[in-house]
Structure 1
Amino acid sequence: MPHDKKTADEYQHYLKHGHFPNEPKPSKFGNHKVCWGGMNFDSKWEWERYMELLALEEAEQIHSLQRQVSVVLQPQFNRGGEEVRQIKYVADFMYSEYDHDDGEWHRVIEDAKGHQTVVFRLKWKMLKWLYRDEDIRLKLTYRKERGNAQLTSRNLA
């Protein structure tokens, strides 16, 4: 198998950026992006979860399914002549789900993630404050890989 020779500059680029020039940047969490039906998904898991949610919507167990919903947590502002950028949270999915316990439909914000990051937890706290007077549920949906993949949902209060 031929071995590509790299220049010193290419190795310097690799040490600084984590990849060689003209190679795609590796995903932060090792996810593989998926393109389906003209839509881009950040991971195979996010796409699989979207397929499940489409099936639930078809079965009328959820409704009003949306993806990549942007919520401004803090608007842009100016302080002493310095422009401070807005803080936003982009939810993987937003939909309404029927709760059999209380007999009502509830708005759900869902993220399909492998794990919770510190930034995710901080933004969720900001989201809870923003919607403190409304009933919006957050679900972090992830896979457990033990033998077969399983869906695990968790409401984060």
Structure 2
Amino acid sequence: KHADHLALVMFAGVNFFTGQLFDIAEITAAAHKRGIIVGFDLAHAIGNVPLLLHDWNVDFAVWCSYKYLNAGPGAIGGVFVHERHATNAKLPRLAGWFGNDPNTRFRFPFHPLTVGRSVIRRSFRWRRCARRYRSLTKWAEWNGSEQNRSN
């Protein structure tokens, strides 16, 4: 009904209250048919259900790790940006140390990297990341949420 007036659809992957899993691929395809960018809040999906964001053509997604990735408050979060956006140097982006081309990092003007890591905004807390790495290693051994999910 309002597709002509929308620039962005931001949706949850899983409803936090009911546990309903939304069809991310279908939502993305429907929005893209109308030229709408699609983002997802995956706070209740990451580590809980299989996610194929690139394959589903999702434009971007964000998540925390303190829920289903065995982290606690203040733990590192995550962001996914589809490569078609990361490689487009003309798209507006937040300029920061890690998003600048290393060959011109300390010079002006800003020359954005055209890879996914260009969206990194700050240094991470390595101890917190080390704990997440161990947790995710175990998760990978168990084949992630695919094997452990009951249908």
Q: TM-score, normalised by structure 1?
A: 0.24
- Select the structure that is richer in helix: 2
Higher relative contact order (CA 8 A, sep 6+): 2
- Select the structure that is richer in strand: 1
Q: TM-score, normalised by structure 2?
A: 0.25
Larger Rg computed on CA atoms? 1
